[in-house]
Amino acid sequence: MESFLKAQRGSHVNGISELKTYLHRFGYLLPENANFSDAFDATFESAILHFQSKLGLSLSGKLDFDTMSQISAPRCGVPDTISTFTLHGTRHYMYFPGKPRWARRMPMKLTYAFSPDYTIRYLSSSEIKAVFKRAFARWASVIPVSFVETEDYVYADIKIGFYHGEHGDSEPFDGVLGVLAHSFSPENGKVHLDAAETWAVDFRSEKSAVAMDLESVATHEIGHLLGLAHSSVKEAVMYPTLKPREKKLDLQLDDIEGVQALYGSNPNFNIGSLSESDISTNQAVNVLRKISVATGRPLAAKCNSTGRPVEYIPVARCGRAELFRKLKQLAASARNFVKNLYF
């Protein structure tokens, strides 16, 4: 593990091949630029820097502890979106290629329904419905869009279901942790949750160490349904990773600005109700310029499949459960190594 943490451009380290597969899967390495060997090459270094900038980490270009922790954290299955947009502004929210949104007359009403077939048995349907009702209400409070539950699954605008493994959209789920859920950009309307997770509605009754908060993930996935991609603001609901037993429910200024730029503001929304700390998380970071300087590469390098609807972004064909297991091992040994080194 020592060599892993110390690895830099020119190194060959067992495990880098898996990291490349991960970085490719989530939009940081284009297949034509990548060789999936264990070589720490310039393309890999650039992908690491982009990952660090997107996740709001320090730009070391190395496989440091924070980077490995984020790589091994449970996350949303939607690939991260990177563009030169980040360079110009102070904002960290992002949209999908083409900036799709629901095109209906304002104020807009969208219906949602739960799949009668693809569900989980250990939570009651009323518990699941209450969670989603609260998650939808958060977004509805900031934009002139309302969400109404319907029993008519076939004709609902938004369709929610829990699925195991391969489920027909070439984005198979990977079992416990790893990828938790994914959803699609407007106006697709589908939300898929990994049925293999231990979904929790109340951590007082759900004691599992790998329990994931259903409401936090629901709130995040609704952001995608509305047209938001992943944000680099760590506190934002649209940040791509979430730890087991962590709750992230409140929309941050970054989430709100992003969604209001698509739909306008709910006339009843008052920005003054946000706390100081919500606002201070929105800081300007000129990250791509730093990457450009560090790697000697032009700023226009793209790391995602820009121009394609998100549902068609190709994914690496790999045993992802296997991949995440390996990544978790690597992160665990990195953690032990850092502990031994400093304590």
Residue 78 in contact with Zn ion, rule: CB under 5 A: yes
* Residue placing its CB nearer to Zn ion in the complex, 2 or 169: 169
CB of 217: closest distance to Zn ion in angstroms?
Answer: 9
Q: Does the annotation list 230 as a binding residue?
A: yes
- Residue closer to Zn ion by CB (options 169, 202) is 169
- Figure out which of the listed residues 49, 76, 156, 193 binds Zn ion, where binding follows CB under 5 A: 76
For Zn ion, which residue of 169, 170, 289, 317 counts as binding (CB under 5 A)? Answer: 169
Residue nearest to Zn ion (CB): 76
318 known ligand binder? no
Whole-number Å distance between alpha carbons of 162 and 221? 13
Beta carbon nearer to Zn ion, 294 or 315: 315
For Zn ion, the closer CB: 83 or 286: 83
Residues noted as catalytic:
221
- From 185, 163, 149, 165, select the one nearest 307 (Cα to Cα): 185
d(Cα 206, Cα 127) in Å, to the nearest integer? 13
Question: Binding residue per annotation — 68?
Answer: no
User: Of 85-93, 98-106, 190-198, 265-273, which part binds Zn ion (CB under 5 A)?
Assistant: 190-198
* Structure tokens, 297: 């590469």
Which residue stretch of 20-28, 76-84, 203-211, 253-261 sits at the interface with Zn ion (rule: CB under 5 A)? 76-84
Per-residue 3-state assignment (H helix, E strand, C coil) for the chain:
CHHHHHCCCCCECCCHHHHHHHHHHCCCCCCCCCCCCCECCHHHHHHHHHHHHHCCCCCCCCCCHHHHHHHHCCECCCCCCCCCHHHHCCCCCCECCCCCCCCCCCCEEEEEEECCCCCCCCCCHHHHHHHHHHHHHHHHCCCCEEEEECCCCCCCCEEEEEECCCCCCCCCCCCCCCECEEECCCCCCEEEEECCCEEECCCCCCCCCCEEEHHHHHHHHHHHHHCECCCCCCCCCCCCECCCCCCCCCCCHHHHHHHHHHHCCCCCCCHHHCCHHHHHCCCCCCHHHHHHHHHCCCCCCCCCCCCCCHHHCCCCCCCHHHHHHHHHHHHHHHHHHHHHHHC
Nearest-Å Rg of the Cα atoms of the chain is 20
Residue 25 binds Zn ion, judged by CB under 5 A: no
Q: How far is the CB of 224 from Zn ion (least distance, A)?
A: 5
192 lines the binding site for Zn ion (CB under 5 A)? yes
Asked if 91 touches Zn ion (CB under 5 A), the answer is no
The number of residues that bind Zn ion (CB under 5 A) is 5
Segment lying near Zn ion (by CB under 5 A), choices 42-50, 70-78, 114-122, 296-304: 70-78
Return the range that interacts with Zn ion (CB under 5 A); candidates 88-96, 144-152, 170-178, 243-251.
170-178
Q: What distance in Å separates the CA atoms of residue 44 and residue 33, rounded to the nearest whole number?
A: 9
- Nearer to Zn ion by C-beta: 16 or 251? 251
Q: Which one, 192 or 325, has the nearer CB to Zn ion?
A: 192
- Binding region for Zn ion (CB under 5 A) out of 41-49, 77-85, 139-147, 255-263: 77-85
Residue 187 annotated as lining a ligand binding site: no
Query: Which residues define the annotated binding site for Ca(2+)?
Result: 157, 174-175, 194, 197
Query: Which residues define the annotated binding site?
Result: 76, 157, 167, 169, 174-175, 182, 192, 194, 197, 220, 224, 230, 238
Query: Which residues define the annotated binding site for Zn(2+)?
Result: 76, 167, 169, 182, 192, 220, 224, 230, 238
Write out the residues near Zn ion by the rule CB under 5 A. Answer: 76, 78, 169, 171, 192
